[in-house]
Structure 1
Amino acid sequence: MATFQKRSGSWRAIIRKKGYPQLSATFDTKAHAERWAKQIETEMSQSRFVDTREADALTIAAALERYEREISVHKKSYRNERSRLAILARDLGRFTLSTLRSSDVALYRDQRLEIASGSTVRRDLALLSHLYTIAIKEWGMPVDNPCAKIRKPKLNKDRERRVTDDELAGLMEAAGALHVEMPRLITLAVESGMRRGELIGLKRSDVRGSVAYLAETKNGTSRAVPLSRAARAAVEELPARLDGQLFSLRPDTVTHYFEKSCKAAEVEGLRFHDLRHEATSRFFEKGLNIMEVAAITGHKDLRMLRRYTHLNPSALAEKLG
């Protein structure tokens, strides 16, 4: 049976029932307290009671901190995911796991789309949704996933930016003025199709003959990347380092230097990752088939190659005769 206590103009209801935790709540009137107690006792008697106190108390910010400790740190993408966790905590951290509604997430989506791309916001929502999946399946939280029923933003249009030889020449000159390693890094990116992180992580011992062996990649598998003569020459031009790494540059430094190089060379609308797009397109233009290109670039989903491949119409015209 529930008991009721009057305290400074409010009423506190206390429920004690064998097999269940003690519950209490405070209300403005005794009638409200009695209605709450009756509802809880009915749920208990019908074995429908679910204790939501932990989920009611755990904020999104605290849940994201736990998710980071238990899940994110084990991901290869952890460095990039930290900023996304911080954004979610900033914008939604005040809610608890049980009080965040689909309408709240939809509002976050719409506000975020004003400053971020559709693809970026989709990744935000995917991370938030996975937080709820972990909370439900591993932490035993009796909550619903508020991301499940909202509309996802549209994906960005496929990038079609190609790099001309003149632009590359200008970039090489500008990049060399910033750091001696940058022109070699750009050459390797265009010639091999390797990602920024894969290039920065290369050790000299990974390059054996005309092949670079990647032990770990973004998709979690190893990969052997054949190197062209230009790529091998770029490797040979790099000075040997005591730590065995090919490059001393950090990933964020590469991005910063590349942006400065584009500005100095008056090259617009180009990102470092576009060099991987360019490499993939050039592989096809050289006559490699889709399986050969996938083996070089590491794409598991062959459909994804379409996003990275924008063939040069002039090269296609030459093939037609």
Structure 2
Amino acid sequence: MGTIVTRPRKDGKPSYLAQIAKRQDGHTVRENRTFRDHKTARAWIRQREAELDNPKIFRAATGPTRTVGDAIGRYTEEYGGEIGRTKAACLAAIQRHAIAGMACANVSSEDIVAFARTISTVTGLTNPGPSTINNYISHLASVFAIAKKAWGYPLDPEAMSDAVFVLRKQQAIAKSNKRDRRPSLTELDCLLNHFGERQQRAPRSAPMVDIVLFALFSTRRMEEITRLRWTDYEAATDKHSARVLVRDMKNPGAKRGNDVWCELPPEAEAVLARQPRGGDTIFPFTTDAIGAAFTRACKLLGIEDLHFHDLRHEGVSRLFEAGWNIPHVALVSGHRSWASLQRYGHIRERDDKFSGWKWRPA
């Protein structure tokens, strides 16, 4: 049976050190955790002793001490192809934090809260906002959710839930605000003129004029554009609109293998029709090259706070302004949930922003 030792904290209030020792087949597991109240400490003892009755969990506990870093490493190894670059970068940053060196069995909600407070030490951000911290906590929570069930690593999902509850109450974490940044025609003219001149000077560079226009009129994300293949493209016919198979489309539930057919508006199809067929992919360039070119151009031209992804937001908004309904827009954008498109419900203007625009693909 476990024991509880009462200890004073720095603020004078008591803390409770819960200790268990369980012996089986000549092996002994000793674990301890500190709690703020006696009731929670007692509940943890009952829960953990019941878990250690499972031979698989007991063997995992008697093996090498598993750290949070070990759990993140295994998660990345097994799910690396599905988690995306942003999540992978966040998990890599967490592995550089002190929490990564903690034994899984010893991580409490207090440790997770402390990690959230000091995440700036590994991100390089001077003062990360609540939405940024929330991203890191969310990605770490994915590891907590499966570590015990999948591998027997004693990470406590309830400790993560408790930490998230505290951080939300303290407003230390929050969901990011929906961006509503849309490029003006003047900004787009500046960008496309710049990329047109660049293309003349460096013909073998990425055709950023067509990439920007395709992103704008197809509503495709940068990563999706670089994965498009000629075999995934079906031109328009008398009976059917043009469409393209978007591979591994971003989705909260699953990314890898989430291939979706999306319709192409005429302008997007016109851009594809003028691309050279020199290989398997339609735009044989990396996201790094495209993203860097776009960011450099915005900085050079003095265009503030414009992201490549904002082209997708502009493209979807344009369709609503053209009078398209939610189901029709979803066929182009690829949104599985119409609720995701409700943010555009405020659009009441019926206007073609790009009517007569010189860059509009014919």
- Which residue of structure 1 lines up, in the alignment, with residue 123 of structure 2? none
Displacement of 1:228 in angstroms is 2.9
Displacement of 1:181 in angstroms is 1.2
Report the TM-score when normalising by structure 2: 0.68
1:97 aligns with 2:109: no
Displacement of 1:187 in angstroms is 0.4
Distance in 1 (CA, whole Å) between partners of 2:62 and 2:142 is: 19
RMSD between aligned residues: 3.0
- Which residue of structure 1 lines up, in the alignment, with residue 195 of structure 2? 175
Residues 90 and 48 of structure 1: is their aligned pair in 2 closer, same or farther, counting only changes over 3 Å? closer
Distance in 2 (CA, whole Å) between partners of 1:254 and 1:270 is: 14
SS in 1 for 2:104: coil
- Which residue of structure 2 lines up, in the alignment, with residue 67 of structure 1? 75
Distance in 2 (CA, whole Å) between partners of 1:108 and 1:47 is: 29
Alignment of 1:241-280 (within 5 A): 241=278, 243-280=279-316
1:222 aligns with 2:235: no
- Which residue of structure 2 lines up, in the alignment, with residue 109 of structure 1? 116
Kept in 2, the 8 Å contact 1:262–1:268? The answer is yes
Kept in 1, the 8 Å contact 2:245–2:261? The answer is yes
Distance in 2 (CA, whole Å) between partners of 1:94 and 1:109 is: 16
Displacement of 1:106 in angstroms is 1.1
Distance in 2 (CA, whole Å) between partners of 1:182 and 1:256 is: 11
SS in 2 for 1:256: helix
1:144 aligned to 156, 178, 184, which one? 156
Q: Structure 2, unaligned stretches of length 5 or more?
A: 1-20, 31-45, 121-125, 200-204, 236-241, 353-362
Displacement of 1:308 in angstroms is 6.0
Displacement of 1:107 in angstroms is 2.0
SS in 1 for 2:80: helix
Kept in 1, the 8 Å contact 2:206–2:285? The answer is no
1:294 aligns with 2:330: yes
**Higher mean Cα deviation, 94-103 or 56-65?**
56-65
Distance in 1 (CA, whole Å) between partners of 2:262 and 2:129 is: 32
Displacement of 1:69 in angstroms is 1.5
One-letter identity of the residue aligned with 1:161:
R
Distance in 1 (CA, whole Å) between partners of 2:334 and 2:217 is: 15
Alignment of 1:301-316 (within 5 A): 301-307=337-343, 311=347, 315=351
1:132 aligns with 2:149: no
Distance in 2 (CA, whole Å) between partners of 1:164 and 1:24 is: 64
Report the TM-score when normalising by structure 1: 0.76
What do residues 116-149 of structure 1 show as CA deviations (whole Å, max 9, x unaligned)?
3433332322221221222211122344222111
Alignment of 1:181-196 (within 5 A): 181-196=207-222
Kept in 1, the 8 Å contact 2:222–2:287? The answer is yes
Kept in 1, the 8 Å contact 2:68–2:100? The answer is yes
Displacement of 1:81 in angstroms is 2.6
SS in 2 for 1:98: helix
What do residues 226-285 of structure 1 show as CA deviations (whole Å, max 9, x unaligned)?
3233222222332222x3211121012211111111123321110001111111111100
- Which residue of structure 1 lines up, in the alignment, with residue 27 of structure 2? 22
SS in 2 for 1:224: strand
1:197 aligns with 2:223: yes
Kept in 2, the 8 Å contact 1:55–1:141? The answer is no
Displacement of 1:287 in angstroms is 0.5
One-letter identity of the residue aligned with 1:201:
R
**Higher mean Cα deviation, 284-293 or 59-68?**
59-68
What do residues 126-181 of structure 1 show as CA deviations (whole Å, max 9, x unaligned)?
22122122221112234422211123411122211111111111111223316351
Larger Rg: 1
Residues 229 and 47 of structure 1: is their aligned pair in 2 closer, same or farther, counting only changes over 3 Å? closer
- Which residue of structure 2 lines up, in the alignment, with residue 11 of structure 1? none
**Higher mean Cα deviation, 212-221 or 267-276?**
212-221
1:211 aligned to 232, 243, 248, which one? 243
One-letter identity of the residue aligned with 2:280:
G
Kept in 1, the 8 Å contact 2:219–2:313? The answer is yes
Distance in 1 (CA, whole Å) between partners of 2:22 and 2:327 is: 67
Distance in 1 (CA, whole Å) between partners of 2:50 and 2:160 is: 28
Displacement of 1:22 in angstroms is 2.6
One-letter identity of the residue aligned with 1:203:
R
Distance in 1 (CA, whole Å) between partners of 2:110 and 2:307 is: 35
One-letter identity of the residue aligned with 1:213:
L
Residues 16 and 180 of structure 1: is their aligned pair in 2 closer, same or farther, counting only changes over 3 Å? closer
